[in-house]
Every structure is written in structure tokens, then in C-alpha cells.
């Protein structure tokens, strides 16, 4: 898809254009854009955002309360077909199953629960604490690891701005005892406000935390789950990602996201595998 910018006439941002779907009755079509590539392949969070657009069309609901994806193949930018099955639709939530195909090859399988988050009421108890970080304008750009061959040429890094604390030691040393942790502010570089549809991208937008403690190459995602807790407010999102277990080449990464008002808005977990670069 061609380079796109916002305009006063269209008021469309690149993310919204690049996640559009067409179709009806459970069959949808989209064009995967090269604007969100890591190397030569679309980012996994971007793929899930395209699937989310199809889920919203099929369910007629705004927000994924929970959405999980399994990545079977890594598609190239280009046309995809998405089949959505409406499993159950109730008064407050709708359950869906989705499959994304490139021609006849299944590349993404997802299951989701959609609802109306703005109308949610009930008890609230949160013990997770927002990281202590300077405001975005006092932070510095976060570099992408150079150990991932081709990642430094990604178009994705032109779409999302990452900023870390000035004193961060991210990538400065590879100490096995150091916690695999990434904390950073994120926003769209074109000024698009954050909303719930963008959170499936945001939780997969930072470099893997494991790369701060381990020299590795590509770390392909096997599965990704996102729980959306609140509607974000503002342009910036503060994120924290950590990995505590790497076993036989497979690891998990847990993520949390807060908006600028300090509200916890999303949780994520993904499983991925380590591919050690060849000498």
C-alpha cells in the first residue's frame, strides 16, 4: 500500500487505512501493508489488529475484551482473506473465531471475546504499579537491537515512536543476571490518538525484553494474548515488558500498558522462540 498521511479532508491515519477490511457475512478481505514490517514481514501485532477489524465488523461491538492469536505462517504484505465465525452472541459479550488466509494457506488463527467496555461496571482492584518514568518529552529514543539482521531496516520503526528513560541500560550490557525488562513510552508518529483498536499493535511494538540480556537473532511469536481493561486517554502509552523464563529456546513475555492518566489499560502475554544467528 502506498505511503499515506493524514489530511484535513480524510482525517484518516495510516494505521486505520492499513487495517481496513471489506466484506460481510463472515467473509472479509484486507491488504496487508508493508508500512508495519519488521524486516520484510508484517509485525504480529499489526496482523492481530487487522483480524480485530474483521471481528469488530462481524460482532458489531467496539472492543476486544480478550483476543488470542496463534501464528502458523508469516505472510508477506499483500491481500488476505479472513473468515469469521460468530460462536455466541449474548447481551454483553460476543465470542468469535477467526482465520486469516493467504490464498489457501492458513497463516493466523484467532479467538476473541468482544464487548462494550465503556459500559462496564463492577468491583475494581489493581495491585500492579505503573512504572516510574519521566514524561515522554524528558525521555530519549529507544534503539532497535542490531543483532536482528534486517530489523534495523524495518518500516515499523517509522510508525511507532519508542522513548526510554535517559538512565536506561537497555542494550548497554548483556549480563545473564540482569532482569529481561523493557520500559518505554509509545505513540504513533503521525499523531494518531490511542484507542482500544490500537492496543493489539502496541503490546507487540517494543523489541523483545530478552534481547537486553541475550545475543539472539529473530524471535518469532508463536502465540499472543491481549486483555484490554480500559479505553486509553491521550497520545502516549507507557509500557512494561518482562521475560522471566527461557527454557529450551522458548520464552514468554508479559506486558502491561498504562495511559497518560495512569490507568492500567491492557495486559498481554506472548510465547516466542529464540533463533540464534549463524556465525
For position 32, which CATH number holds?
2.40.160.210
Q: Output phi, psi for 158, to 5 deg.
A: -85, -10
Q: Is the pLDDT of residue 6 over 60?
A: no
Total-model pTM: 0.91
Angle of CA points 189, 195, 201, to nearest 5°: 60
| β partners of residue 29 | 22, 81
Which residue shows C-alpha cell 524495518? Answer: 154
pLDDT at 3 over 50: no
Q: Which of 22-26, 59-63, 95-99, 135-139 has the lowest mean pLDDT?
A: 59-63
Q: In the beta sheet, which residues pair with residue 258?
A: 238, 264
Q: Do residues 258 and 237 touch, judged by C-beta distance below 8 A?
A: yes
Check: CB of residue 95 under 8 Å from CB of residue 106.
no
Is pLDDT above 80 for 205? yes
Does 247 fall in a domain?
A: yes
- Max Cα separation, the chain? 57
pLDDT digits (tens, 9 = 90+) for 29-52: 999 999 999 888 999 999 999 999
DSSP per-residue string spanning 91-150? SSEEEEEEEEEETTEEEEEEEEEEE-GGG--S-------------GGGSEEPPPPTTSTT
Domain count, the chain: 1
pLDDT tens-place string over residues 57-100: 999 998 999 999 999 999 999 999 999 999 999 888 999 999 99
Q: Which has the closest alpha carbon to 196: 266, 128, 256?
A: 266
Question: Which of 24, 94, 21, 38 has its CA nearest to residue 208?
Answer: 38
Evaluate whether residue 130 is within a structural domain: no
Using the 8-state DSSP alphabet, how is residue 173 labeled? -
Is 128 inside any structural domain? no
In a domain, 129, yes or no: no
The boundaries of the domain holding residue 261 are: 14-118+139-273
Strand ranges, E, within the chain: 22-24, 27-32, 37-38, 41-42, 63-71, 78-89, 93-102, 105-115, 140-141, 160-164, 180-188, 221-228, 237-243, 246-247, 250-259, 264-273
d(CA 208, CA 272) in angstroms, rounded, equals 10
Q: Report the phi/psi class of residue 69: left, alpha or beta, with left for phi > 0 and alpha for psi in -120 to 50.
A: beta
Residue 87 lies in a domain: yes
DSSP 277: P
What letter would DSSP give residue 217? S
Residue of 200, 171, 237, 211 whose CA lies nearest to 42: 200
Q: How many residues does the chain have?
A: 279
Q: Is residue 155 part of a domain?
A: yes
* Mean pLDDT of the residues in the chain: 89
- Is 8 part of any domain? no
The answer to the question of residue 59 being in a domain is yes
Mean pLDDT of 116-145: 88
pLDDT band at residue 151 under the 50/70/90 scheme: low
Which range among 58-72, 97-111, 119-133, 217-231 shows the weakest confidence by mean pLDDT?
A: 119-133
**Percent of the chain residues past pLDDT 90, beyond the cut:** 71
User: How far apart, in whole angstroms, are the C-alpha atoms of residue 4 and residue 22?
Assistant: 19
Amino acid at each position: 500500500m502506498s505511503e499515506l498521511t493524514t489530511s484535513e479532508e480524510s482525517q484518516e491515519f495510516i494505521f486505520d487505512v492499513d487495517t481496513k477490511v471489506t466484506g460481510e457475512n463472515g467473509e472479509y478481505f484486507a491488504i496487508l501493508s508493508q508500512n508495519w514490517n519488521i524486516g520484510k514481514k508484517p509485525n504480529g501485532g499489526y496482523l492481530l489488529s487487522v483480524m480485530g477489524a474483521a471481528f469488530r465488523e462481524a460482532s458489531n461491538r467496539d472492543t476486544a475484551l480478550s483476543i488470542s492469536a496463534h501464528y502458523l505462517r508469516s505472510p508477506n504484505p499483500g491481500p488476505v482473506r479472513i473468515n469469521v465465525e460468530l460462536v455466541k452472541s449474548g447481551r454483553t459479550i460476543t465470542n468469535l473465531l477467526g482465520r486469516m488466509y493467504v490464498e489457501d494457506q492458513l497463516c493466523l488463527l484467532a479467538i476473541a471475546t468482544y464487548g462494550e467496555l465503556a459500559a462496564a461496571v463492577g468491583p475494581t482492584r489493581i495491585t500492579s504499579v505503573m512504572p516510574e518514568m519521566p514524561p515522554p518529552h524528558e525521555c530519549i529514543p529507544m534503539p532497535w537491537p542490531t543483532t536482528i539482521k534486517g530489523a534495523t531496516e524495518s518500516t515499523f520503526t517509522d510508525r511507532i515512536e519508542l522513548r526510554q528513560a535517559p538512565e536506561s541500560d537497555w542494550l548497554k550490557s548483556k549480563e545473564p543476571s540482569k532482569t529481561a525488562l523493557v520500559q518505554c513510552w509509545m505513540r504513533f508518529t503521525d499523531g494518531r490518538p490511542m484507542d482500544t483498536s490500537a492496543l493489539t499493535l502496541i503490546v507487540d511494538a517494543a523489541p523483545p525484553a530478552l534481547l537486553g540480556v541475550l545475543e539472539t537473532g529473530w524471535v518469532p511469536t508463536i502465540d499472543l494474548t491481549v486483555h484490554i481493561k480500559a479505553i486509553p486517554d491521550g497520545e502516549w502509552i507507557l509500557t512494561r515488558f518482562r521475560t522471566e523464563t527461557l527454557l529450551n529456546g522458548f520464552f514468554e513475555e508479559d506486558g502491561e500498558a498504562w495511559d497518560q492518566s495512569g490507568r492500567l489499560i491492557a495486559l498481554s502475554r506472548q510465547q516466542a522462540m529464540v533463533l540464534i544467528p549463524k556465525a
